[in-house]
């Protein structure tokens, strides 16, 4: 130990790095002020610190780097900080509180994404679009400076041109605030943010009412839709559209299928990365097998539906969808195909639990469903029934269903 003067610090040797190249540090303590010292790193940095027992635990607090601080300035800062500790204050905790109070919307958002490991890339991309597209000028604003009035006004501004986007943006903002309220606390463990400003929208019933999209391909349009798909030059897009309609899969679940997901021997497919995190298995009908066998013979990629422009999977084939839509009375979306599958299944009196299994729907409040052991074979006949209905309409137009005419019910 010695008094930390400039001449003494300048003579301090740099510690050697570890054999694997990792950095090391040496500690030198001041003999005049207990708890005051300097860290010397093998990379050449020298940093002043104080070390003191606070609330039963030894805590070390950085004062600043040598060069930015002179030994005299560091000594003065050390005396001041040690004096605060002597009066019962915790400078380490106070520093964390101060840093938390300064956190910006963008910093809190990135921290939220870092915590939420369960979010899918598509969800994260949508969240970023909300932040970049609607809250760009707020990203460097402190969370503490975002008021209820500002939230209400911005929600109204966005809603004038895009009500659904306004709601989605504020839901993302609400999630970030809830995350910050739960994580950032003062020295006594109380939240630094006392309220979530987005709650104003619920209190004032200001959320926009968004009607759920209910479009689908009507049964008397199935033949026209099918014939329009046969005219597509891109066979991958054509088979992909057929596959989505015949399975009811979500668009990205189908697009990301690899040959490892397909069991040709068992005539089934299994998707592990699903929306509800539950593996989803479906039996493959004869028509689906035809599609897969054709695709297998035409591709050398791991993807069932490879992209025509790179070595990844197919993205949403907007051009093909637009071309087919021109034949129908109105545009359709990929999710319309899933809705069509569901609507047909329900009209064919598919049992409720079989329908849930076909769609991989999970209801945490349904205790009975938790006791049912899912089996792919259990839904093979319902799957065949739906497939036969769709393919018959493709080939023959609207056929009369003995139990119920979909042409009328849809």
**What pLDDT, on a 0 to 100 scale, did the predictor assign at position 214?**
62
Yes or no: domain 219-409 corresponds to CATH 1.10.443.10: yes
Compute the chain's Rg from CA coordinates: 31
3-class secondary structure, 341: helix
In angstroms, the CA 133 to CA 169 distance is 9
Cβ neighbours of residue 38 closer than 8 Å, sequence gap 6 or more: 4, 9, 12, 27, 28, 30, 46, 47, 48, 49, 66
Yes or no: domain 6-89 corresponds to CATH 3.30.160.390: yes
**What pLDDT, on a 0 to 100 scale, did the predictor assign at position 397?**
66
**What pLDDT, on a 0 to 100 scale, did the predictor assign at position 328?**
80
Helix intervals (H) in 235-317: 235-247, 251-255, 286-298
Asked whether residue 47 carries a pLDDT value surpassing 50, the answer given is yes
| Domain assignments of the chain as residue spans, ordered by start | 6-89, 105-203, 219-409
Q: Which two tokens stand for residue 49?
A: 């610190």
Segment 377-399 shows an average pLDDT of 88
Q: Which two tokens stand for residue 384?
A: 């065949």
What pLDDT digit, counting tens, does each position of 78-99 carry? Answer: 988 888 777 777 666 666 666 6
pLDDT over 90, % of the chain: 57
Where does the pLDDT of residue 368 fall: very low under 50, low under 70, confident under 90, or very high at 90 and above?
A: very low
Asked whether residue 404 carries a pLDDT value surpassing 50, the answer given is no
Where does the pLDDT of residue 369 fall: very low under 50, low under 70, confident under 90, or very high at 90 and above?
A: very low
**What pLDDT, on a 0 to 100 scale, did the predictor assign at position 363?**
56
Identify which of 149-163, 173-187, 322-336 has the greatest average pLDDT: 149-163
**What pLDDT, on a 0 to 100 scale, did the predictor assign at position 157?**
95
Q: What is the CATH number of domain 105-203?
A: 1.10.150
The DSSP code sequence of 67-113 is: TTB-HHHHHHHHHHHHHHHHTT--HHHHHHHHHHHT-BHHHHHHHHH
Nearest to 291, CA basis, from 254, 332, 336, 251: 254
**What pLDDT, on a 0 to 100 scale, did the predictor assign at position 185?**
76
Asked whether residue 364 carries a pLDDT value surpassing 90, the answer given is no
Segment 22-43 shows an average pLDDT of 91
Asked whether residue 305 carries a pLDDT value surpassing 90, the answer given is yes
Q: pTM (2 decimals)?
A: 0.61
In angstroms, the CA 355 to CA 383 distance is 9
Choose the weakest-confidence range: 95-104, 137-146, 234-243, 254-263.
95-104
**What pLDDT, on a 0 to 100 scale, did the predictor assign at position 188?**
66
Asked whether residue 351 carries a pLDDT value surpassing 90, the answer given is no
Using alpha carbons, list the distances in angstroms from residue 272 to 87, 269, 337.
57, 10, 21
In angstroms, the CA 381 to CA 100 distance is 58
Asked whether residue 27 carries a pLDDT value surpassing 60, the answer given is yes
What pLDDT digit, counting tens, does each position of 121-167 carry? Answer: 888 999 999 999 999 999 999 998 999 999 999 999 999 999 999 99
In this structure, what are the phi and psi dihedrals at residue 162, rounded to the nearest 5 degrees? Answer: -155, 85
Average pLDDT, the chain: 86
Classify burial at 400, counting beta carbons within 10 Å of its beta carbon; exposed 0-12, middle 13-18, buried 19 or more.
Answer: exposed
Return the number of other C-beta atoms located less than 10 Å from residue 75's C-beta. Answer: 20
In angstroms, the CA 151 to CA 148 distance is 5
């Amino acid at each position: 130990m010695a008094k930390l003067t400039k001449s003494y610090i300048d003579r301090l040797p740099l510690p050697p790095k570890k054999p694997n190249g990792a950095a090391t540090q040496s500690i030198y303590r001041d003999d005049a002020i207990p708890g005051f010292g300097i860290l010397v790193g093998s990379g050449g940095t020298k940093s002043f610190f104080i070390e003191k027992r606070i609330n039963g635990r030894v805590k070390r607090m950085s004062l600043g780097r040598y060069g930015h601080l002179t030994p005299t300035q560091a000594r003065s800062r050390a005396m001041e900080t040690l004096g605060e500790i002597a009066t019962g204050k915790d400078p380490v905790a106070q520093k964390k509180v101060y840093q938390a109070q300064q956190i910006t919307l963008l910093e809190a958002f990135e921290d939220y994404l870092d915590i939420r490991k369960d979010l899918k890339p598509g969800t994260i991309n949508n969240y970023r679009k909300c932040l970049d597209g609607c809250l760009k000028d707020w990203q460097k604003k402190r969370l503490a400076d975002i008021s209820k009035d500002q939230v209400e006004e911005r929600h109204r501004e966005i809603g004038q041109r895009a009500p659904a986007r306004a709601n989605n943006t504020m839901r993302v903002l609400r999630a970030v605030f809830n995350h910050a309220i739960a994580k950032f606390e003062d020295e006594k463990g109380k939240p630094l943010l006392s309220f979530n400003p987005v709650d104003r929208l619920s209190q004032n019933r200001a959320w926009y009412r968004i009607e759920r999209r209910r479009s689908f391909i009507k049964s008397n349009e199935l033949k026209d839709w099918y014939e329009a798909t046969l005219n597509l030059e891109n066979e991958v897009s054509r088979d992909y559209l057929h596959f989505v309609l015949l399975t009811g899969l979500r668009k990205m679940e189908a697009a990301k299928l690899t040959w490892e997901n397909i069991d040709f021997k068992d005539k089934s497919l299994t998707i592990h990365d699903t929306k509800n995190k539950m593996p989803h298995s479906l039996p493959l009908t004869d028509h689906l097998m035809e599609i897969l066998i054709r695709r297998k013979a035409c591709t050398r990629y791991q993807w069932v539906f490879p992209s025509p422009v790179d070595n990844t999977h197919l993205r949403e084939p907007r051009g093909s969808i637009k071309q087919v839509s021109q034949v129908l009375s109105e545009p359709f979306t990929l999710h319309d195909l899933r809705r069509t599958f569901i609507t047909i299944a329900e009209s064919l009196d598919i049992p409720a639990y079989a329908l849930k299994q076909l769609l991989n729907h999970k209801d945490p409040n349904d205790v009975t469903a938790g006791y049912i052991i899912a089996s792919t074979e259990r839904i093979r006949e319902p799957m065949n029934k739906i497939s036969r209905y769709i393919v018959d309409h493709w080939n023959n137009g609207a056929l009369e269903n003995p139990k119920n005419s979909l042409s009328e019910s849809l």
